[in-house]
Amino acid sequence: MTEIILEAERVTLRFGGLVANADVSLAVRRGEILGLIGPNGAGKSTLFNLISGTYRPTSGRILLEGQDITGLPAPERCRRGIARTFQVPRSFDSMNVVENVIVGGFVRHPRAAEARAAALATLDVVGLAHRADAVAGELTPPEKRRLEVARALATEPRLLLLDEVLTGLTPSEAKAGVELIRRVAERGVTVIMVEHVMEVVMPLVDRAVVLHLGRVLAEGRPADVVRDEAVIAAYLGERRRAA
């Protein structure tokens, strides 16, 4: 049986009377690409915030490689091997591209020269080496998404959370993004990805977890999930049933 790298056990997060996640339980296997899907407001990004340490759950717990990390802050979780991107790319726009990635490299390489070398190697992986000296604020939207991935990879994560990195891309850009995610997984990084582009994400992921109204609605192989009646009713709709 494949080793479990991350577990969420009955995780609930309340904001006053609003329940953002309710009794969410899932297990992520080392080396897999897990798709986290669902309609807007389903609680996907909230769950990412709980896993990465931005939020602390109201109840339940989160374990990384069997160790309870529920009470750990985000920087410590990063040091332990969890990295993430954001729906809206965040960069230090006045710094150049390699400097942005060096920020992530400092997590593992406290010396500037070592962090820079790691950053340049990471830019090569994501296809931005030719833009290393460009000012980050001048990048195109697809390049900014790759910069986010590069900065996260520079922390040398074991678990990478990708929040809609393929959203808003052209078909050719999305194809390149899929190839990048596969390369990341081939390097031994476990990936959880939130995505709305079903046609792109379903052939890519090993398993899918569907959230609806903050709860797990279904999980399993992509081919099984898209045929689940509850998923069709809540998310895909009758047009997708016909397809």
CATH of domain 1-81+159-243: 3.40.50.300
How much helix, strand and coil, in percent to the nearest 5, is found in the chain? 40, 25, 35
Q: Is the pLDDT of residue 243 over 70?
A: no
In tens, the pLDDT along 31-46 reads 999 999 988 889 999 9
Spell out the residues 6+ positions from residue 18 whose beta carbon is closer than 8 angstroms to its own: none
Task: Please check whether residue 36 is in contact with residue 190, taking contact to mean a CB–CB distance below 8 angstroms.
Answer: no
Average model confidence (pLDDT) across the chain:
92
Q: Is the pLDDT of residue 63 over 80?
A: yes
pLDDT, residue 238, reads 53
CA torsion angle 53 167 224 27 (round to 10): -10
Candidate from 138-142, 207-211, 238-242 with smallest mean pLDDT:
238-242
Instruction: Report the percent of the chain where pLDDT is more than 90.
Output: 81
User: What does the alpha-carbon distance between residue 187 and residue 174 come to, in Å, rounded to a whole number?
Assistant: 20
pLDDT, residue 39, reads 86
Backbone φ, ψ for residue 75 (5° rounding): -60, -40
- Domain extent listing, the chain: 1-81+159-243, 88-156
Q: How many C-beta neighbours within 10 Å does residue 138 have?
A: 12
In tens, the pLDDT along 95-145 reads 999 999 999 999 999 999 999 999 999 999 999 999 999 999 999 999 999
The whole-number average pLDDT for the span 73-77 is 97
Spell out the residues 6+ positions from residue 77 whose beta carbon is closer than 8 angstroms to its own: 52, 53, 64, 69
Candidate from 100-114, 192-206, 212-226 with smallest mean pLDDT:
192-206
pLDDT, residue 3, reads 93
Residue 142: alpha-carbon gap to chain centroid: 16
Q: Is the pLDDT of residue 1 over 60?
A: no
pLDDT, residue 48, reads 96
Task: Please check whether residue 144 is in contact with residue 105, taking contact to mean a CB–CB distance below 8 angstroms.
Answer: no
Enclosing H/E stretch for 152: helix 141-153
* CA distances from residue 70 to 39, 49, 78, 131, 132 in whole angstroms, order as listed: 26, 12, 13, 38, 36
For the entire predicted model, the pTM comes to 0.93
* pLDDT range class, residue 237, cuts 50, 70, 90: low
pLDDT, residue 78, reads 97
The whole-number average pLDDT for the span 1-17 is 91
Backbone φ, ψ for residue 134 (5° rounding): -75, 150
The whole-number average pLDDT for the span 177-200 is 91
